[in-house]
Structure 1
């Protein structure tokens, strides 16, 4: 068995087996229906084009890449376990851990929610896109009115 630079473990050449953290990230992504734990924005796993209306070349959508977020940071003894891993977009994960002492997940979630409501968390293009898909979802959920003459 040999490993390919942290992308996974190959049992045979050409057969990629996910690492533990990749498996936990996918489980969290599925458990959370593809939404970020902190900002509730839709995320992508392999390419931004997984998101409706997004072009992979649009740099702004790279911040919506799904990452495995340790609720208790590894630096503080957090383990790679299902109860300590959630799916978070790259923006939320990296911003939380840029601080000298990462805030508790609940406090950080509240802070992010406030900034999301003000439209000043993600890139402005992402906020406009989120608003558009929200409007489309509301319109799709409303029953169609049939007009008769």
Structure 2
């Protein structure tokens, strides 16, 4: 896949999802974290976990392709954790989203967990 095409698909998904992660629904940033850190009052270290990535809903290794229907915008944390230490297939997007939601309710998911409380108020 052409990197420019993947960037374009990620950018489209980013705006289609109102600049929020597909899985955890926290706000994400695309290009420069400076404004993002100021807006949300978080450190650059935490903001790095919220950088927008192109998430293949069906992983490439499982036959997923680079199309708008298969690309979602996800924060670095959610994207990485979906595939972390897996030798088998990653959970389906629906299964993973449900698990992330359960952990969010317990405030046990994301390094930027404080944003959940502020974002929900």
Give the TM-score range, shorter chain.
Answer: 0.7 to 0.9
Q: Are residue 86 (structure 1) and residue 72 (structure 2) matched? A: yes
C-alpha separation in 2, matches of 1:42 and 1:53: 9
Checking the alignment, whether the CA contact within 8 Å between 1:44 and 1:50 is kept in structure 2 is no
Checking the alignment, whether the CA contact within 8 Å between 2:21 and 2:75 is kept in structure 1 is yes
Checking the alignment, whether the CA contact within 8 Å between 1:28 and 1:85 is kept in structure 2 is yes
Secondary structure, in 3 states, of the residue corresponding to 1:96?
Answer: helix
Partner of 1:143: none
Q: Are residue 40 (structure 1) and residue 25 (structure 2) matched? A: yes
Describe the superposition over 1:63-87 as per-residue Cα deviations: whole angstroms up to 9, x where unpaired.
1000000011011111110000000
C-alpha separation in 1, matches of 2:108 and 2:31: 26
Q: 1:113 is matched with which residue: 83, 96, 101?
A: 101
Give the TM-score of the pair, scaled to structure 1.
0.72
CA RMSD of aligned residues (A): 1.7
Determine which structure has greater relative contact order: mean sequence separation of CA pairs < 8 Å that are 6+ residues apart, divided by chain length: 2
Task: Kindly state the Cα deviation for residue 53 of structure 1 after the two structures are TM-superposed.
Answer: 3.0
Describe the superposition over 1:18-71 as per-residue Cα deviations: whole angstroms up to 9, x where unpaired.
x0000000000000001111111100001223321345x531221100000001
Superposition pairs of residues 49-68 of structure 1, within 5 angstroms: 49-51=34-36, 52-54=39-41, 58-68=44-54
5+ residue gaps in structure 1? 1-5, 9-18, 136-149
Give the TM-score of the pair, scaled to structure 2.
0.87
- Structure 1 residue ranges (4+ consecutive) displaced by more than 4 angstroms after TM superposition: none
C-alpha separation in 2, matches of 1:74 and 1:40: 23
Which of the two has greater strand per residue? 1
5+ residue gaps in structure 2? none
Partner of 1:74: 60
